[in-house]
Structure 1
């Protein structure tokens, strides 16, 4: 099928070049300085500058915000050291300089570097380790000049060609030290900007919707490698189980709505059938609430967007090895750098391998993931990135957990395994894609991206069935699933910034096309039962003879328009609208029987509108309204044979976002979310269903992320969530939704010693509380609440690090979720006291 992919790439590229421009949204490059001093340009609660209140003041502010392009950076050697020339077409303000460690910093207001990737050069002169010029949020440019053992000094002046910094070094050193490059430094737990909520690089406090970010530093400090573990730090996200047994792999619910929350990779749909590892991920962004206005069909709870690591301008090499409990071993490699002397061609390669056991009897697995990426800066305004991910090895024992007795999970040893040792999932997957970005001028840009994903999956399962709670005899069913899953998606975004009078606009216009194919086959056969109190495994594989076949095709087109409007400097409006047309064709066949074909086309308009008011600069008050739609599967029909309407969602949300300091932010949100057109049983004919159901989620979420004090980081969240059946034919109204607790709390914090005899020593503490949950929507059993404590100890020195992570420090017994929200699906058991050690090195 590769030839089809490349044909689609060629067609999409032709559309991009000749018909529809696409958006070249560039990620803000983070600063190369790890610890920042207080700066008046960075909003804080102590900065109480009031917004303009007169026309003259507004006009003055608008005039002051004219952005100057830095079109080139030139380094000239001098007798004293170095001269840095920032070439511009207009004058730049002379910035104040300040020192952080061995770096001299100058933050230039009302400026932008072209290209957006900035400029970096290592060892430009004797005594100077590196020079970087990078974009910051809110039209600031940071010049960072790093010395070896002492900060340089500089004289700043303006000349005809631009801004000139004459740099000298007071105490040059001969030994060269390695400088952590821009984009790969430890930036801490504070992430001020995101692109997921708007498809543009926007400050979090300017977005009228809740979004929580898990940066790579949290993933590293917790010593985790899977998406499911990283999402424990996000308020309102719950696991739904089905690890390896369901067609969606790991499944999550956001804000209690929907069973299967969509996962994206850099804004393109990316759902793996197996658990998702995070070795090549820079950060995870969770947008809460309906997201159809930008991402099309999906559950109303939200989306999960994985932001991958990008190629770097400067050589970077990192490797790590981990060994842990239950014979678990991991190795990671992350290398990047330029491929030519002009640094216009750069690469990145991430390799991850894991061979792991489990506290559960017979359970083990192995996986290998390889993620290459190459970026070509064709010109200062144009870049092209090719990326891929290959998963040639993904094998894991399928484990359905423990059964239910009475109204609780069965009281059995937590290592008790009730499947068969041969039950297993194997997956072979790869993705290929590219992103083309071009900036026409200071105000208009285009971004075009395409991706093809293919997965081949095989699963052998011994599924739980009825349990005799007196004798402990558990009926089981042998299942075989084998399938090929393919998906192609391409989208084009055009972004423009302009003004209408005193009102500023950032306009986004986008087009998306996707298509996919699936051909799974299934088999279900009787299989010998097992006694849960005294298990005896048959170890007999059943003959693989699929007896049910599916052949599914789907495609869709989405067109969307969004405007981010600054009505006043402290009043911002976000409005968007999308139209989707979705086509599905499903063909089903029982062995020896004729095929049954089902065809369905759905369309929907999905709006979003929100407003942000900032009474003072670091505080935002917001409100928003959003909608979603999600087509039903075409073989699900009304009694008269007509297809069901798409499920819909709508949400009202209000909240506040506050920058408590330049490195610490808080978000508080309250919401009312409703999922409508839910399929329920037909009271007049039990063989059919009708669409009259509604499920409601109401709640409050609080998150705190960033640096409390130098070297003290924190990410904390709390969610109160009331998720229940609000309309139904058969279920009692008010029944809670499965796996959703009323209360959920997480905290992870680290502290490191930065000087003295114990410099480099650090500690981490994690607290995770999940309240009691109903196991199924009929409320026949419950999962008890739990409080888990994690801890970490690490030592970082120069370019190497040793780290010890402990999960479940006090060895509490707990259950994470009920599979499928079903009494017979099995309950997943939480891991006991677990320890792992990691040694890593970076060059």
Structure 2
């Protein structure tokens, strides 16, 4: 039935040894937070094996774990998964950082449209979230070796069996800052003649203010899963999900960085009054950012910005030459200069900021199972993303991308020598078609993060007009506002064939090998009005052979050492799945990744202490900066994960990692330089330059000409949690989960950048359940700790996101 359910809905396999089965039963009884190490899953390698017998580092997280640990975003997954850290992209948790780089998101084993920071990836709608540290199985297509996250939807199948009567729940949640959430779930058994099945639906509505003032997102998640077992050993599954949101606005957090701001929340106030907006207008036009004066006494060079208006170039940026700072009347603060204590709730935001997202996803799978449990499966997948964004400092974006994929897979399992040797093989072919259109503007240099005094809020002379302000709904060029400086149209077609085998001898020695061959064809162009590239289409093709091999041995005393080597290939695409033309021209649109990993899994103390240790060394590509370039990252690290079921009521979890990621230079992107990097942590320095931005090529900065360590993610992260649940009593059942997460210090990527101190953050969850009713309470950041995360991408040296303070929420749930 695994084939019928697809990769997302794993079943429990019967144990061969009665003693092992007894221990497993004890664990299932004692495990009241939904840990999944002993339950079979096909996500990691493609084979239906328990995680403790899989030669790869991974964490499987059930919906019960999500509930008991109070996980409400991808960022919170670091509580229980080593090697992970917040992948927050300007405050939006679209992807997880795994082993030092952003991971890719999958649904039912199929890769979704890229989501770096378009919307917050939903977690509550999942029946299980799988975090795999390493490359995807050859079955799932080309991918990077850093890791990926797979989402399994809720279904009407429970433990491999269909529900026998209608079941579901209704819950209402209210939390801090007037956040409220309504969730309804309904599962129905289906019986249509000789066809058995089930239908499960999930609906979620979430609205309210956030910790950060001025951000009030509203979102809807709808999910449906239909599973059918039909006559003739045929089975079918159809899964769909729709995500819609409004107001998941990006923010850089705090600007005007100094060490005093990070250490003491002391913010430098003041505004520049040299520029003037049109009467009654809430923003500057692009041309108004360069009115009057010049750079160091020289007039601005004349550049054509749009067909309708001349834009006298440079915007609010200055190309730093490494020797002297700029003299320009638009840059120094000359009004209201001073200091103030900044609240972490006050961030860079404006009423003009915009974020609207629609993301539908559909999965379909038809399976034929044969008498010997072999199966043939035909799967189809569709994912689409439409996202509009505007940030008032002058960054509009319109992302539209999609994926259509088909996969045909055959599985065969055979045994030889009286079952002493078993061979399971999965082989197939697939086609993946991606299209994307990514419209955005940031090339003209009008963005100056430090210009705005966020203690005052947005004003007309630190805001820039964007295309959505003019009601633009297509690729039209507004007469005065920012037009679409980049407009990338991209198509990629990928045909692939794969095979992978799991060979097991004496139920102890296991060799897993696999590979795939892919042909890629890309067609892309940039028709933006200020793209700096040839607008003519550029085409290319590439053939890639990738492979993976793992060897493991199950010892009789509960320890399974393993070794893995993998070489994979990955497309280098942007947030719409689009590929920049310059990457195709220079050969950087598809690059190889490599992984070496050794480790061991363990089951000790009669199977009540389980976990894994891994050491890895990897190289993988990452898209960086402006203009977009493919950069190779090299990472090394150690990861430890443990689960201890101390009693039938008490359990502990530990997840920790040490990692170091280096950027293999030269990284030829543009760096935006905070004044403090050049002239120290003195207020006078920032006051003289806050109205504009300094930029230069990263390779021109001393110490960044070649390889350098990426310091925006912590070297050490660990989490320790305890969970206690009572037995069932006449009065009901109760439980509590409490723990702490530690992260070491981070900093910007430039020399002399500000340093963000290490921190501990604590979280608490509790529940009370009686009959059909359940009350739960979650408190994140229990002790209201202030800490910081550098923002992503090219502005990681100019701004940092303060942590959300203590946030609580309470839920009432009725199940039937």
- Give the structure-2-normalised TM-score: 0.74
SS in 1 for 2:66: helix
Matched, 1:675 2:620: yes
Contact 1:23 1:446 in 2 (8 A): no
Aligned mates of 1:31, 1:293 — CA distance in 2 = 23
The farther-off stretch of 569-578 and 612-621 is 612-621
Matched, 1:604 2:451: no
Aligned mates of 2:426, 2:740 — CA distance in 1 = 40
Aligned mates of 1:615, 1:30 — CA distance in 2 = 22
Contact 1:281 1:306 in 2 (8 A): yes
Residue 834 of structure 1: how far off its partner (Å): 1.2
Residue 561 of structure 1: how far off its partner (Å): 0.8
Aligned mates of 2:519, 2:247 — CA distance in 1 = 37
Partner of 2:590: 646
Matched, 1:29 2:11: yes
Partner of 2:686: none
Matched, 1:263 2:105: yes
Aligned mates of 1:744, 1:702 — CA distance in 2 = 11
Per-residue displacement from partner, 1:524-543 (whole Å, max 9, x unpaired)? 57479422454453488644
Aligned mates of 2:436, 2:510 — CA distance in 1 = 43
Q: 2:362 aligns with which of 425, 432, 435?
A: 432
5 Å matches for 1:187-266?
187-188=34-35, 190-243=37-90, 250-256=94-100, 258=101, 260-266=102-108
Per-residue displacement from partner, 1:147-201 (whole Å, max 9, x unpaired)? xxxxxxxxxxxxxxxxxxxxxxxxxxxxxxxxxxxxx997456553221112221
Per-residue displacement from partner, 1:40-93 (whole Å, max 9, x unpaired)? 133869xxxxxxxxxxxxxxxxxxxxxxxxxxxxxxxxxxxxxxxxxxxxxxxx
Partner of 2:338: none
Matched, 1:815 2:760: no
Contact 2:488 2:580 in 1 (8 A): no
Aligned mates of 1:317, 1:619 — CA distance in 2 = 40
5 Å matches for 1:382-461?
382-406=234-258, 410=262, 411=265, 412-461=342-391
Residue 39 of structure 1: how far off its partner (Å): 5.7
Unpaired runs of at least 5, structure 2 = 158-162, 266-341, 471-477, 574-578, 668-698
Aligned mates of 1:740, 1:369 — CA distance in 2 = 31
Partner of 1:349: 201
Residue 694 of structure 1: how far off its partner (Å): 4.6
Contact 1:360 1:414 in 2 (8 A): yes
Aligned mates of 1:185, 1:446 — CA distance in 2 = 36
Residue 388 of structure 1: how far off its partner (Å): 1.2
Partner of 1:276: 121
Aligned mates of 1:371, 1:404 — CA distance in 2 = 43
Contact 1:489 1:515 in 2 (8 A): yes
SS in 1 for 2:76: helix
SS in 1 for 2:709: coil
Per-residue displacement from partner, 1:120-170 (whole Å, max 9, x unpaired)? xxxxxxxxxxxxxxxxxxxxxxxxxxxxxxxxxxxxxxxxxxxxxxxxxxx
Matched, 1:318 2:258: no
Unpaired runs of at least 5, structure 1 = 1-20, 46-96, 102-183, 463-476, 682-686
Residue 602 of structure 1: how far off its partner (Å): 2.1
Residue 779 of structure 1: how far off its partner (Å): 6.6
Residue 570 of structure 1: how far off its partner (Å): 1.4
Contact 2:37 2:51 in 1 (8 A): no
Per-residue displacement from partner, 1:462-505 (whole Å, max 9, x unpaired)? 2xxxxxxxxxxxxxx31222232221112122110013544210
Partner of 1:493: 409
Q: In the superposition, relative to structure 1, how do residues 777 and 563 fare at CA in structure 2: closer, same or farther (>3 Å)? A: farther
**What's the Cα RMSD here?**
3.4
Residue 219 of structure 1: how far off its partner (Å): 0.8
Per-residue displacement from partner, 1:193-236 (whole Å, max 9, x unpaired)? 22111222112232211111122112111333323323442111
Residue 379 of structure 1: how far off its partner (Å): 2.2
Aligned mates of 1:688, 1:791 — CA distance in 2 = 43
Q: In the superposition, relative to structure 1, how do residues 555 and 231 fare at CA in structure 2: closer, same or farther (>3 Å)? A: farther
Q: In the superposition, relative to structure 1, how do residues 339 and 759 fare at CA in structure 2: closer, same or farther (>3 Å)? A: closer
Contact 1:452 1:488 in 2 (8 A): yes
Residue 359 of structure 1: how far off its partner (Å): 1.9
Partner of 2:602: 658
SS in 1 for 2:641: strand
Between the two proteins, the alignment pairs up a number of residues equal to 658
Residue 725 of structure 1: how far off its partner (Å): 3.5
Contact 2:224 2:239 in 1 (8 A): yes
Per-residue displacement from partner, 1:274-322 (whole Å, max 9, x unpaired)? 1111232111111112336343333321111111112242221112111
SS in 2 for 1:520: strand
Q: In the superposition, relative to structure 1, how do residues 360 and 25 fare at CA in structure 2: closer, same or farther (>3 Å)? A: closer
Aligned mates of 2:400, 2:9 — CA distance in 1 = 34
Contact 1:515 1:555 in 2 (8 A): yes
Residue 753 of structure 1: how far off its partner (Å): 1.5
Partner of 2:323: none
Partner of 1:365: 217
Higher strand share: 1
Partner of 1:50: none
Contact 1:573 1:609 in 2 (8 A): yes
Partner of 1:137: none
Contact 1:240 1:820 in 2 (8 A): no
Contact 1:694 1:726 in 2 (8 A): yes
Partner of 1:561: 499
- Give the structure-1-normalised TM-score: 0.72
Q: In the superposition, relative to structure 1, how do residues 40 and 781 fare at CA in structure 2: closer, same or farther (>3 Å)? A: same
Residue 758 of structure 1: how far off its partner (Å): 6.4
SS in 2 for 1:374: strand
Contact 1:25 1:445 in 2 (8 A): no
Q: In the superposition, relative to structure 1, how do residues 428 and 380 fare at CA in structure 2: closer, same or farther (>3 Å)? A: same
Aligned mates of 2:798, 2:436 — CA distance in 1 = 25
Contact 1:481 1:521 in 2 (8 A): yes
Contact 1:243 1:274 in 2 (8 A): no
Matched, 1:42 2:33: no
Matched, 1:286 2:125: no
Per-residue displacement from partner, 1:297-354 (whole Å, max 9, x unpaired)? 3332111111111224222111211101011101111110213376713200000110
Partner of 1:804: 777
Partner of 1:754: 727
Q: 1:827 aligns with which of 797, 800, 804?
A: 800
Q: In the superposition, relative to structure 1, how do residues 445 and 554 fare at CA in structure 2: closer, same or farther (>3 Å)? A: same
Q: In the superposition, relative to structure 1, how do residues 25 and 262 fare at CA in structure 2: closer, same or farther (>3 Å)? A: closer
Contact 1:44 1:659 in 2 (8 A): no
Partner of 1:618: 558
**Highest RCO, 1 vs 2 (Cα 8 Å, sep ≥ 6):** 2
